Amino acid sequence: MAAEYKTVSCSQITLSQLMLPSHSNFSGKIHGGYLLSLMDQIAFACGSKFSGKYCVTASVDRVDFLNPIEVGELVTLNASVNYVGTSSMVVGIRVEAQNIQTGKIKHCNSSYFTMIAKDSQTGQPVAVPRLLLQSKEEVMRYLKAAERITLRKQRPASAEPFAGCLEQAICHIQQHYDAKVTLTA
């Protein structure tokens, strides 16, 4: 059976929402947790739209909050599938906020969510369509995602720094960081 190919545009989703006082934190800016929730929602919608399957979040690559979002701004999230594995999809998300009175738009953050397509009956991972890349931008996004995946696989998450040697770790901290080590146990 020949593999099914879909374009990046088949996955694209845009979500816009007006930021309300109920979305703010104690400093009056939009709460980062609320924004992460919106990002997770759009990643789910994007992955499900592309795969035609129920999707779950497997991981989130780095989220940097570049600019604060104010109450009253219109937040727009744009998402698309940038890379596909066997059952996984890397969904790129860009978040912008617009002052609806002045029209000024600011980039607030970008992130990459890895979504896994699941069979609705068994809950097991299922294959997703292959990606048909149609522009230089899509090719570059695909390669950047592949590079991030390769780097993640090269460094085991459970590896102890300096193979667990406390003396080497302390020496490294003292030489390269502004921290003091006083062990109590």
Residue 27 tokens read as 């400093």
- Give tens-digit pLDDT for 14-46: 999 999 999 999 999 999 999 999 999 999 999
Tally of residues, the chain: 185
Taken in order of first residue, the domains within the chain and their CATH numbers are: 5-160 (3.10.129.10)
Residue 18 tokens read as 């007006």
User: Count of CB atoms within 10 A of residue 97's CB?
Assistant: 23
The answer to whether the CB of 86 falls within 8 A of the CB of 28 is: no
Reduced to 3 states (helix: H, G, I; strand: E, B; else coil), residue 53 is coil
The answer to whether the CB of 22 falls within 8 A of the CB of 149 is: no
- Give tens-digit pLDDT for 134-151: 999 999 999 999 999 998
Task: Give 72's pLDDT tier (boundaries 50, 70, 90).
Answer: very high
> What are the φ and ψ backbone dihedral angles of 21, each rounded to 5 degrees?
-55, -30
Q: In the 8-state DSSP scheme, what is residue 158?
A: T
* Candidate from 13-17, 121-125, 158-162 with smallest mean pLDDT: 158-162
Rounded to an integer, what distance in angstroms lies between the CA atom of residue 112 and that of residue 58?
A: 11
Task: Give 3's pLDDT tier (boundaries 50, 70, 90).
Answer: confident
Pairing of strands 88-98, 13-18: unpaired
Please compute, for residue 61, the number of CA atoms within 13 A of its CA located in the half-sphere on the CB side: 20
Reduced to 3 states (helix: H, G, I; strand: E, B; else coil), residue 82 is strand
The answer to whether the CB of 78 falls within 8 A of the CB of 12 is: yes
Rounded to an integer, what distance in angstroms lies between the CA atom of residue 124 and that of residue 117?
A: 8
